[in-house]
Structure 1
């Protein structure tokens, strides 16, 4: 089997054929004119026929050189395409999300990585609910609140729906949770210090009491849900975010009422021109949110 020509020599041939001049080819390749001449001569010796006709005013391709040129151009075009496409597939997508959505988002991203290891995602979590793409280099973000004005592409995941949750064991204890007023006998777990979520739900439920009894505050929704799952008290949670906990039996809903707050969770991108794989990820997350 005949030995294949070396790739650097083929590249030198391609550049020389484009310029038809050893001097200009050497300038383009940042090597000496003598090095270009030697590489072409070595390639011609290996192939067994000349590729250029040396003339006083420059070079011209021989018939064999003319046959070689489109083939070599195709080879390097394929290499360039491969570098571009493979590099794009392995580029890691940068995603930002608030900690309050982690209970829902993290299991879905782990599932995504198992399905699509060729589209890796690096997740940055924050206590902030928004994103500023002018100063933050993320490909996309999950934001919480009202529909965001910033971002060229916005897709809704789900609305916030508040409902009390607790461990199933709490319902089997000595203090029942059959009426809204029964909450006054239990410790209320707050995912924030302003107690806004509990007050909103109690008002919608027509509660005849203010949450002035035993209560405990947490910095994140995750911490409040973790304490509720241990039977410590009753937490107020977002129904859309705790579906996995409800399905697994770690938590249960003592009341059927879910209160819409007018806020929600959104996928936001700084541009409608998406990096490879990001469009698929966004569509997949939206589909998972609708289940």
Structure 2
């Protein structure tokens, strides 16, 4: 025995009812729906015919919901809210999160993203690297970014990851080599790898370590700290590394830290996303997870 299925009212007509019930005006509803006033009137009349009861009272001063219309309105509103949520949720699951980060943060970020993808393959992340330290969400179409700054500014929501603390690093072979590296003063006898075109980072570190440096005329200069660290792993000199970023290099023995002196620079790394839009559940989860990773959780 086949049970006949009740024919449901058409979805477009229900949507027209929802919009019309919100404003109780055919003309305004037509403007919001981008159709003619006549089309709105015909859809409402057709829906009332299908349901078998009136939804609106046509009055001289406009429309008013009938008792049936008032009862139906919140239920139809809930149905369309559920549809919106379902479409948004399914779309968010399939769309990869777009993340931007400076190259200097890769040593910290990349192994953690690989762990995230192994644990959450349903939330893919597409990573774009840059030598720039900031982000402009008005031009850059990213869901979130890691930035380096003293204090984040602009219309963003910022989550603090860690402060920059610099310390010299080199290979074990260089440390055990013929040129001593026992005190900060010994650094002047080594090739210094500068993470920027100026020498301020090394000068500041040496001063904070209690050594007034002479002219730092030698060494090599790089555009990013990441490049300087990469050269240091080849044994070509001593670089300054951010303590929070070099954990993997120290753990696997690619680099060693000759001195237990970490000098804060006043800069920090932040995970940010635009303030203008509410983050998706997937982005909120990734933000919370990376923040917990940075804080040692």
- TM-score w.r.t. the length of structure 1 is 0.73
* Matching of residue 132 in structure 1 with residue 136 in structure 2: yes
* Matching of residue 285 in structure 1 with residue 295 in structure 2: no
Structure 2 equivalent of residue 119 of structure 1: 123
Structure 2 equivalent of residue 260 of structure 1: 264
* Matching of residue 231 in structure 1 with residue 235 in structure 2: yes
* Matching of residue 220 in structure 1 with residue 249 in structure 2: no
1:161 to 1:78, Cα distance in 2 relative to 1, 3 A: closer
- TM-score w.r.t. the length of structure 2 is 0.71
Hey, what's the Cα distance between the residues in 2 that align with 1:13 and 1:271?
Answer: 36
User: Contact 1:187/1:213 (CA < 8 Å) preserved in 2?
Assistant: no
* Matching of residue 166 in structure 1 with residue 166 in structure 2: no
Structure 2 equivalent of residue 175 of structure 1: 179
Structure 2 equivalent of residue 192 of structure 1: 196
Structure 2 equivalent of residue 39 of structure 1: none
Hey, what's the Cα distance between the residues in 2 that align with 1:155 and 1:87?
Answer: 26
| Unmatched tracts of structure 2, length 5 or more | 19-32, 36-50, 53-76
User: Contact 2:168/2:257 (CA < 8 Å) preserved in 1?
Assistant: yes
Structure 1 equivalent of residue 107 of structure 2: 103
| Unmatched tracts of structure 1, length 5 or more | 19-27, 31-50, 53-72
The Cα of 1:13 is off from its aligned counterpart by 10
**What does residue range 29-108 of structure 1 map to in structure 2 within 5 Å?**
81-108=85-112
The Cα of 1:272 is off from its aligned counterpart by 6.8
* Matching of residue 209 in structure 1 with residue 197 in structure 2: no
User: Contact 1:184/1:211 (CA < 8 Å) preserved in 2?
Assistant: no
User: Contact 1:151/1:268 (CA < 8 Å) preserved in 2?
Assistant: no
The Cα of 1:258 is off from its aligned counterpart by 0.4
Hey, what's the Cα distance between the residues in 2 that align with 1:162 and 1:14?
Answer: 63
User: Contact 1:157/1:264 (CA < 8 Å) preserved in 2?
Assistant: yes
Hey, what's the Cα distance between the residues in 2 that align with 1:198 and 1:126?
Answer: 24
SS in structure 2 at match of 1:181 = helix
User: Contact 2:228/2:239 (CA < 8 Å) preserved in 1?
Assistant: yes
Structure 1 equivalent of residue 161 of structure 2: 157
1:81 to 1:131, Cα distance in 2 relative to 1, 3 A: closer
Matched positions, count? 263
1:266 to 1:80, Cα distance in 2 relative to 1, 3 A: closer
1:135 to 1:179, Cα distance in 2 relative to 1, 3 A: same
Tell me whether 274-283 or 238-247 shows the greater mean CA deviation. Answer: 274-283
User: Contact 2:203/2:213 (CA < 8 Å) preserved in 1?
Assistant: no
SS in structure 2 at match of 1:124 = strand
SS in structure 2 at match of 1:183 = helix
Structure 1 equivalent of residue 68 of structure 2: none
SS in structure 1 at match of 2:92 = helix
Report the aligned-residue RMSD.
Answer: 4.0
User: Contact 1:161/1:240 (CA < 8 Å) preserved in 2?
Assistant: yes
User: Contact 1:199/1:211 (CA < 8 Å) preserved in 2?
Assistant: no
